Amino acid sequence: MVAERVVITGIGTVSSVGIGKDEFWRGIVQGRSGVKRVTRIPEDQQPASKIAAEITDFDASKWMEAKQIKRTDRFIQLAVAASYLASADAKLGSTTLDPQRVGVVVGSAAGGFQSIEEQFRVLMNKGPDRCSPMTVPMLIVNMAAGWISMLHNAQGPNLCTVTACATSANSVGDAYRLIQRGEADLMFAGGSEAPITSLVMAGFASARTLSTRNDEPEKASRPFDQDRDGFVIGEGGAVLILESLTHALKRGAPIYAEMVGYGSTADAFDIVQPRPDGAGAARAMELALKEKGFKPEAVNYINAHGTSTWLGDKAESRAIKSVFSHHAKKLMVSSSKSMTGHLLGAAGALEAAVCILAIRDSIVPPTINLDKPDPDCDLDYVPHKARKNVEVNLALSNSFGFGGHNCALLFAKYKK
């Protein structure tokens, strides 16, 4: 059986840089930082890191009814918003779909930590009888996918991928495979995260992984920079609409790009540290390229995982050089986490959207705050300003997660 070609027809993004594809992309191209001082956590509960890429203008009531909002955690609300934005972008409202051929793969790394904290306080202060009966459905990670399936009447495959910070990248990859195999015509794919809570931030801060550049929040996320001191936690959601080419053409859908490769590997090395030589990440990239026989020289742009951590940025740079050899120095590589912060499980789908829009507009977004490059990170990271009118026919998106999960997604300019 010949695998179905898979295209991207809709993009829905919710982030501190902008809500909705157009505002988000405008901010990314402009190099706008979404990092600021945390407002959601009381000062006495904040760890040494007091900054985050927090969304301060999100209004769930634009997409959900009051009763639905009351029964859902913020991470679910962010995912639902992204799904509606993606649906509208793909013009699904004007199309009659077979609901049994529409599926969802949407994950989260952390799930409903806001609800966990709130309900634990209720338990401690008021007793077990006062806890919400919706506590478990609010916090478990599959409920973003569950709500999206209900609200969009998607009766096909319904899955929740959880691979830490590679979660939504694997979600996109898994949705791609389902369509390739003919198990669905259209998939909602992505992830969401609402980790700006006292417990999550305290845990990461105790592990000394968060930046403490509290006096200059917008300059704190600085991937590949010699003075980076950790990542900046972020929140948001991203959902892509993936379709078989046959289905997309039949309904006259807008086509942004074609997905042409997916690589998934494990480091099998350490729970939190990447392999220093980046071997696992390199294999994921190689697998994505190998799927349809692309040579490394064909790739124009890589959206790096680029978290602004000391070990991670070095390992990824080594992995890229391992895969691309002499072409590595000709590649444009940038980290949009310098602007969005690290959305954990939602990062991969958001960054896949960046790759897709880079292909559409022939623009490579910048890595901001790259003032003093780390000598061990010696590639072209597109510092400070976006590059416009550049060739982007093939773009690769990298995502790596705690537990040694590696994922690479490959997108190409659509050709008939």
Which are the catalytic amino acids? 165, 305, 342
8 A C-beta contact, residue 212 and residue 48: yes
* Closest CA relative to residue 120, chosen from 138, 147, 101: 138
Q: What is the CA radius of gyration of the chain?
A: 20
- Measure the CA–CA gap between 138 and 299, rounded to whole angstroms: 41
Map tokens 């049994």 to a residue: 100
- Measure the CA–CA gap between 190 and 105, rounded to whole angstroms: 7
8 A C-beta contact, residue 64 and residue 80: yes
Give the list of residues 6+ apart from residue 28 with CB closer than 8 angstroms, or none.
17, 18, 336, 339, 340, 354, 357, 365
Judged by phi (left if over 0) then psi (alpha if -120 to 50, else beta), residue 327 lies in alpha
- Measure the CA–CA gap between 338 and 46, rounded to whole angstroms: 22
- Measure the CA–CA gap between 168 and 174, rounded to whole angstroms: 10
Amino acid identity of 176? Answer: Y
